[in-house]
Structure 1
Amino acid sequence: MSIAVVKFSSRLVAGVVQSFWQQVADGSRFEEAGESVGWSVTTVRRELRSSGGVRPRRGRTLTGRSLSFDEREQIALLRGKESVREIARRLGRAPSTISRELRRNADEVYYYRATTAHARAHARAARPKTAKLKSNEALRKEVEKRLGKKDSPVQIAGRLRKNHPNNPEMWVSHETIYQSLYLESRGGLKRELVKNLRTGRTLRKPQRRPDERRGRIQGMVMIADRPAEVEDRAVPGHWEGDLIVGKDGKTAIGTVVERTTGFLMLVHVPADQNRAEAVRDGLISKMGALPDELRRSLTWDQGIEMSRHKEVKIAADIDIYFCDPHSPWQRGSNENINGLLRQYFPKGTDLSIYSQTDLDYVAHELNDRPRQRFDFCTPNEMIRTFLLR
């Protein structure tokens, strides 16, 4: 069987693609989601054109049956150095899986490259099932007729079940209708019928306006309402916080820095826990342990991880303020410390491997580092000075 040649790009890597679409589903703008997974604006546009604005199914619920791109990179690294059985042992795979991968996706003379192999596997796996609206002419004509009358896909799906209660062949979900209109690979319906939908869009979009951040954080108190004493850094106890994000946006660490002293605290965010709940629990633990005079306010950006901010405010007894959208300079201290932290946690790192003990050690190292703005005193010394007054 001949396989179509496919040029490798990160758009073939399910983990990257699904991370992008999950962030869109969570309310991020396309550009924001693209930036977080390392895509240029051009790559984002290509993804939207090819998908029709519909989140792809491939890779959405990975079972581990297929080799990932990371595993193929490991195979390429170990090939020629280790036996097939040793490679399989390291990856936790069957030896037959590795030998089959090398046989199917290696170049001539058994030369194996992860990018080429992944592209070939991606092309081989593209065996789409014939869409119901393509194979069932009577159903397709009925759907097209109702779209022509400007019925919505939800109305069409409901009416078909009502009109044909004993004939499942004449049933179709509203999502299938949308995908047949917007996604070229699904097909079946005339593309021009999209103009009969309420929106008339040729590209499917999230149900929100581009400048709207609906459904993200309720009850925010904005930075404009923050006390004036925060600005001159004369009074300690005002903090700035954010997340640094790891590989594919799937792991994160909370970073909180005190504006006056530069004192840093790091918050463990378990990868297997809801991020908003993990940030809430971590902040309550860290901020709640501070003396009253060091627990005045916390300023954060509008990331969804702070959707439980009211619980943090009550439990830790601290006022919480939010920056304006796309205004990182409003958390200047935190942005600077996050840059320093990349020495310890480079971009693309799996941050879930670090425990709270590991994070406390890194925070201690940075808090013991002399700072020029404090005449080369350390944040540890600065914060002790304020506490002893």
Structure 2
Amino acid sequence: MCKLIPGNQKHLTLDNRVFIEKSLDNNMPFCEIAKYICKDPSTISKEVRKHRTLNPRNDFVNFNHCSNRRNCHLRNVCNRPIPCSKQCSSCAECNKHCISFVEEICSYISKAPYICNGCSKKAHCRLDKYFYRATVSNKEYKTILVESRNGINLSPEDLKHMDSIVSPLILQGQTPYQIIANHPEIKCTEKTIYNYIASGALSVKNLDLPRKVKYKLRNPHPSEINDKGIFEGRTYKDFLTYIQAYPDTNVVEMDTVVGCEGSRKVFLTLFFRNCKLMLIYLLPDKTAASVAKVFDYLEKKISTLLFCRTFPVILTDRGTEFSNPDNLETGIDNVIRTSIYYCDPMASWQKASIEKNHEFIRYVLPKGSSFDNFTQWDTTKLASHINSTARASLNGLAPIQLAQMLLDKDAFHAFGLREISPNEIVLTPKLLKK
């Protein structure tokens, strides 16, 4: 690694990895990529090889994967009782029986660039493919970074010396902060001492800390996401920066509405800020896979390009059902279809519009109602009545009327909503009463 390159010997950032991915999509060589992000070309090579993801070949259709099949003239390698008349090169069974079988490996993955991002034949290739994805790579990097820092970064002698200072003073009633302030030879933070005590590395225990035993551990919120790495580049601050740069972007807020305790089905809601239209989809459960299926369904129905234009930016909370942003942002053909951003913890006011609009759902389905007996037809009916209700904030227009003017016509028709006449709108439990 060259030490003369400015900015070298630093960790790659998410922006660096996004640039690498886009450059590989355009078949830019490693040396050119390295110039733009001020890194050594070997750094780019190691990054790609270490974090590339395998897309295995489709074995549903039998195919001969032997590298010698084009020049092979062997017949009946499998020794069938009735000799086969066709050449083995056109049969996938020869891969199991031929002693000369050598699996074909694409040159794209055996040497630089080691991935298939920029390959023009990847759509029809039947071999194993490797792709470099910036978000996946950055997530793996964060995981390795955390795991490498687990444990105690002290030699047994240094730990014993620290224990001889800290433990007696803790038993005398002093706090870790006092000990560090009075003993500068202890080269660690207050939090590190607490962690050492909690892990049993020191002679004293948590019970010897008088204030710690008084406080109960907080129960984590059931919708809290444990993997904090997914929030990098997707925080509310990043969202505000993006909107400041692109103020005309149509923002869509996303959330879920749950039923009573024991109710399995939930509502997924998507709210368009520009016209106050709210889409409602019935999910079989509150999981990330169910949310991704709705996104895939919409993409298939309106095309990837129209999905990008209709849902360019989505703002949501940190519920576990949104814990896999890569699946939501990446489309069926591995094309980026949207950008997901997350509100800050306990800050529902950052997407207040959709929270306020949920009141209409509660008019029909008060808290304590179960959604298990409903179908998507019932859910679309509910959305049609809600979106046909005139709003003072829209100067007397209904969201469905404004949506027909602001949204693409094909996208609007794919949502399956219909305008309800003002005298027929029902926003009471009577609407979905079985």
> How does the TM-score come out when normalised to structure 1?
0.43
Q: Which has the larger radius of gyration?
A: 2
- Which of the pair has the greater relative contact order for Cα pairs under 8 Å at 6+ separation? 1
More helix per residue? 1
> How does the TM-score come out when normalised to structure 2?
0.39
